[in-house]
Amino acid sequence: MIAGVSILERVNGPRPERWPAFSSPVRSTALTARVGRVLGICFGICFVTGMLSYYQYAPWSWLPEPASPVWLYRFTQGLHVATGTATIPLLLVKLWSVYPNLFRWPAVRSLKHAAERLSVFVLISTALVQLTTGYLNTLNWYPWPWDFVSVHRFMAYVLIGSILLHIGFKLPDIKYGLEAELATADVLTEIPWSENPLAHSNAGDVPPPPTPALSRRGVLVAGAAGIGAVVVTSVGQTLTPLEPIGLLAVRQWTKGPQGVPVNKTADQAGIIAEASSGAWQLSVAGRTPYVLTLADLDELAHAEAQLPVTCVEGWSVGAHWRGIPLLEVVRRAGGDASSRVRVVSLEQGLYGNSVVVGPQVSAALLATHLNGERLNLDHGYPLRLISPNRPGVLNTKWLSSVEVT
């Protein structure tokens, strides 16, 4: 204090003459708390399913990915992407309901208030970046220099931490908002409810202000309808019965070769000449190394399986495969079901190889046929890995070698 004036008062100064003021009868603590509750649940679902997705890329050595149920990754990743997509408009509704708080005066009332504002900044910025980059990932568009998977995971920790911190700061407001009736709760104005004398009386006795447009309940209904429309018209990329109305679906199985979408074509991978060559051979390394030719594939491809193809972008579709059991190839090389198997593609780059361990070794196929036809070149001809409960990028296409250790 200097001459009866606090430091914060001196920093803030008098309220600017043109500082915005808000008194909308639609926004309220009750509305914000209800939207925030759903938003928190969505972020929680995204966090858990996202960690499961990341685990697929880097499982612990003592806990390899399970091979069953075969639809598990299809469910968790489909839920992750569908929930993340729904969270985008939901977050916008939440920001609309609270953005007048940015213009409250004084800008900073205490050190606690300053910490709260900082946590809100981290929360909003991280959420916007996570949802934006996550959606661009579903489009296979990466206009940034960093590795998406790693950064997306680390930012998820920051996002969940900032959400928990924000809940801690706003718990009294949340409690009040969830207990108040939508039609009678206080209006979100310059005075927070905790400093509003009406909030300390019976809020239910306070008549609602006149509503010239949409009511608070109408905001929730309209928001739910819009978000529901987004989900229904996009989730068809995972729930195939809804595929015909998948107007917002990034991938549609009916538009893919052999009834399965393709993320990367043989042309994009730069392997057309090598994969199409009649001299192609699969080199199998192990205690007893050997080589398989194209003619050998036709002779050995006797196993069949109904397995979904599931990609990290959120799309998936069930498919019928025929090929050589991976375990059969491993045993011939001197290995067994406990072996570590590395499959290598003709394609160079980040996903030019993958490792198969644990239950996946016994469940995987080296596929030669898809839905009753010889593999299309874009689906990995002449040979690809297909294993249950595994991301599409790890079901390596255009195989050139198998290493058994």
pLDDT at 24: 67
pLDDT digits (tens, 9 = 90+) for 22-40: 666 777 888 889 999 999 9
C-alpha 307: how far from chain center: 22
- Average the pLDDT over each of 16-30, 87-101, 232-246 and give the range with the smallest value: 16-30
pLDDT class of 200 with cuts at 50, 70, 90: very low
| Integer Cα distance of 280 and 32 in angstroms | 62
The pLDDT value given to residue 208 = 45
pLDDT at res. 392: 92
**Residues of the chain above pLDDT 90, percent:** 58
Which stretch, 183-187, 190-194, 286-290, has highest mean pLDDT?
Answer: 286-290
Average pLDDT rounded to a whole number, residues 318-347: 97
Topology (CATH level 3) of domain 266-404: Sulfite Oxidase; Chain A, domain 2 (3.90.420)
Secondary structure, 3-state, 124-170: HHHHHHHHHHHHHHHCCCCCCCCCHHHHHHHHHHHHHHHHHHHHHHH
Mean pLDDT of the chain: 86
pLDDT of residue 140: 86
Does 192 have pLDDT greater than 60?
Answer: no
Contact 103/19 with Cβ under 8 angstroms?
yes
User: Which is more confident, 61 or 77?
Assistant: 77
Answer whether residue 373 shows pLDDT above 90. yes
Q: Which residue has the tokens 């993340």?
A: 84
pLDDT for residue 213: 55
Calculate helix-pair angle for 148-179, 111-138, nearest 10 degrees.
130
Distance of CA 46 to the CA centre of its chain: 6
**pTM, full prediction:** 0.85
pLDDT tens string 248-282: 888 887 888 999 999 899 999 999 999 999 999 99
Across the range 9-26, mean pLDDT stands at 66
Closest CA to 308 of 30, 44, 77, 17: 77
Q: Which residues pair with 317 in a beta bridge?
A: 309
Q: For residues 357 and 188, which has the higher predicted lDDT (pLDDT)?
A: 357
Average pLDDT over residues 66-79: 93
Query: What crossing angle do the helices spanning 29-57 and 148-179 adopt, rounded to 10°?
Result: 150
Task: Tell whether the model's pLDDT for residue 370 goes beyond 90.
Answer: yes
Distance CA 25, CA 33 (A): 16
Model pLDDT for residues 136-164, shown as the tens digit of each residue: 999 888 999 989 999 999 999 999 999 99
pLDDT greater at residue 57 or residue 320: 320
Q: Can you tell me the distance from the alpha carbon of 356 to that of 20, in angstroms, rounded to the nearest whole number? A: 60
Q: What pLDDT, on a 0 to 100 scale, did the predictor assign at position 205? A: 39
Which of these, 333, 249, 341, lies nearest to 285 by C-alpha position? 333
Would strands 399-404 and 281-285 be described as parallel, antiparallel, or unpaired?
Answer: parallel
pLDDT of 215: 73
Stretch 72-83: mean pLDDT:
94
Structure confidence at residue 203 as a pLDDT band (50, 70, 90) = very low
The pLDDT of residue 83: 96
Q: Which of 366, 389, 370, 390 is nearest to 378 (CA)?
A: 370
> 191 or 175: which carries more pLDDT confidence?
175
End-to-end CA distance of the chain: 73
CATH 3.90.420.10 range(s) for the chain read 266-404
- pLDDT tens for 211-233 read 445 677 787 888 888 888 888 88
In the sheet with 353-356, reading across from the earlier edge strand, the strands are 290-293, 281-285, 399-404, 341-345, 353-356
Per-residue pLDDT at 387: 95
